Amino acid sequence: MKILIATGIYPPQIGGPAKYAENLKEEWEKDGHLVRVKTYGIEHSLPPIVRHFYYLFKIIPAVVWSDFVYTLDTFSVGMPAVIIAKIFRKKIILRTGGDFLWESYVERTEDLVLFKDFYESNKNKLSIKEKVIFKLTRFTLQNVSYLIFSTKWQRDIFIKAYDLKTDNIGIVENFYGEKVRGYESEKNAENAENNKNGEVDKKVFVAGTRKLKWKNLEILENLFKNIPEAKLDLANYSPKEFQEKIASSYATILVSLGDISPNMILESIRYNKPFILTEENGLMDRIGSIAITVNPKDEKDIEEKVKWLLDPTNYQMQVRKIENWNFIHSWKEIAKEVVDIYQKIKNDNEINPSK
195-244 per-position pLDDT tens digit: 444 444 789 999 987 789 999 999 999 999 999 999 999 988 887 888 89
Radius of gyration of the chain, Cα coordinates, nearest whole angstrom: 22
Residue 169 shares a structural domain with residue 189: no
Task: Identify each DSSP E strand in the chain by its residue range.
Answer: 2-7, 34-39, 68-71, 91-95, 146-149, 169-171, 203-206, 230-233, 251-254, 275-278, 292-294
Residue 73 shares a structural domain with residue 210: no
Residue 295 shares a structural domain with residue 253: yes
Residue 319 shares a structural domain with residue 334: no
Whether residue 186 is predicted with pLDDT greater than 50 in this model: the reply is: no
Q: What would the pLDDT profile of 80-121 be if each residue is shown by its tens digit?
A: 999 999 999 999 999 998 899 999 999 999 999 999 999 999
Residue 140 shares a structural domain with residue 32: yes
Whether residue 56 is predicted with pLDDT greater than 90 in this model: the reply is: yes
Whether residue 291 is predicted with pLDDT greater than 70 in this model: the reply is: yes
Residue 156 shares a structural domain with residue 44: yes
Share of the chain above pLDDT 70, in %: 93
User: Over the chain, what is the mean pLDDT?
Assistant: 91
Residue 350's pLDDT band, with cuts at 50, 70 and 90, is low
Residue 13 shares a structural domain with residue 136: yes
Residue 239 shares a structural domain with residue 311: yes
Q: What would the pLDDT profile of 122-172 be if each residue is shown by its tens digit?
A: 989 999 999 999 999 999 999 999 999 999 999 999 999 999 999 999 999
CATH assignment at residue 34: 3.40.50.2000
What pLDDT does 190 receive? Answer: 47
Residue 199 shares a structural domain with residue 267: yes
Whether residue 355 is predicted with pLDDT greater than 60 in this model: the reply is: no
Q: Which of 14-28, 77-91, 139-153, 274-288 has the lowest mean pLDDT?
A: 14-28
Q: Domain count for the chain, please give it.
A: 2
Backbone phi, then psi, for 71, in 5-degree steps? -115, 145
Residue 100 shares a structural domain with residue 230: no
Residue 264 shares a structural domain with residue 335: no
Whether residue 351 is predicted with pLDDT greater than 90 in this model: the reply is: no
Residue 83 shares a structural domain with residue 192: no
Global model pTM greater than 0.85: yes
Long-range contacts (CB closer than 8 Å, 24 or more residues apart) made by 298-303: 299/219, 299/222, 299/223, 302/219, 302/220, 302/223, 302/255, 302/276, 303/223, 303/226, 303/227
Structural domain including 265 reads 184-323
Per DSSP, what are the bridge partners of residue 309?
Answer: none
